[in-house]
Amino acid sequence: MPQPQDTSTKEAQLFPLRLQKFLARAGVASRRGSEDLMSAGRVTVNGEIANELGRKVDPSSDIVAVDGKVVHLGGQPVYLMLHKPKGVLTTMSDPFSRPTVAQLIPVQEHPGLFPVGRLDQDTTGLLLFTTDGDLAQELLHPRCEKEKVYVARVEGAVSGKDIKALEHGIELEDGRTAPAHAHFLQQSDAQEKRWLQQVGEPREGDSVVVLGIHEGKKHQVKRMLAALGHPVLALFRPRFATLDIGDLSEGSWRYLTEDEIAALGKLTNK
Ligand code: URA
């Protein structure tokens, strides 16, 4: 797993800091009021009651909670992308203790992170995480759903007619899908050739298609292709809105660059 780079050198020099100062800075209460909360045993650090007034915390590694609710220092929102591997659920916690995306990203450091949308358990690819609820809401709003690109290895020989049908819209039980972009994967394109490695070479008679959709219906890509008689065998998402997974390896994450964050902001007029 990549090590997060220290993007907060200035802040890092200020840490660790006294717990009551941390609470005051996070806007929980005044410093005095925070001391009262601590003395009352209502504050925990990493799950343990912290009632000793000299206690120091490091916000990059300690989890502070008041009455069981995690407290965050304000600061800049966090944005990162994960290359979600197969077999992992897009949820921050699972009552059955199955593997989740939360185990692959730095939640200890950024407890407010959540995924923007979801990928099925067996789908791999780009999943955006942020602490910025406004941006997430904008990106997922049906009014401005941004293109998501999927690469699907499917059973059977997809025809030119199927490609046209995918582009025009497919009748599903919950309505017709909006116009989409669709084409056969081009091995002559270096990037698409890399995408092929992710879904695996098709067996004789099977096909690989690239599909760009603007909606987020449940299991949409699988249902669109199944409706044409081509069940999906492997599904990979290399692009989400303005983001591209590049060569980020399966299971790894990285922070978005400033340019990537600015491009998303522009897209949503934030
Ligand atoms: N469509 C699907 O069918 N599955 C996904 O994971 C994403 C889009």
Q: Which residues contact 70 (CB under 8 A, 6 or more apart)?
A: 63, 64, 111, 112
In this prediction, residue 75 carries a pLDDT of 66
Query: Cα of 223 to ligand 1 centre, how many Å?
Result: 9
pLDDT in tens, 112-130: 788 999 999 999 999 999 8
Q: Scanning the structure block, which residue is given the tokens 């098709």?
A: 202
Judge whether 112 and 134 are in contact, CB under 8 Å: no
Residue 234 has pLDDT above 90, yes or no: yes
Residue 30 backbone phi and psi in degrees, to 5: -65, 170
- Going by alpha carbons, the residue nearest to atom 7 of ligand 1 is 119
In this prediction, residue 10 carries a pLDDT of 36
- Going by alpha carbons, the residue nearest to atom 3 of ligand 1 is 219
In whole angstroms, give the CA distance from residue 170 to residue 221. Answer: 10
Neighbours of 238 (CB within 10 A): 23
| Pair type for strands 43-45 and 64-66 | antiparallel
**DSSP code of residue 92:** S
The answer to whether the CB of 192 is under 6 A from ligand 1 is no
pLDDT in tens, 160-218: 999 999 999 999 999 999 999 999 999 999 999 999 999 999 999 999 999 999 998 99
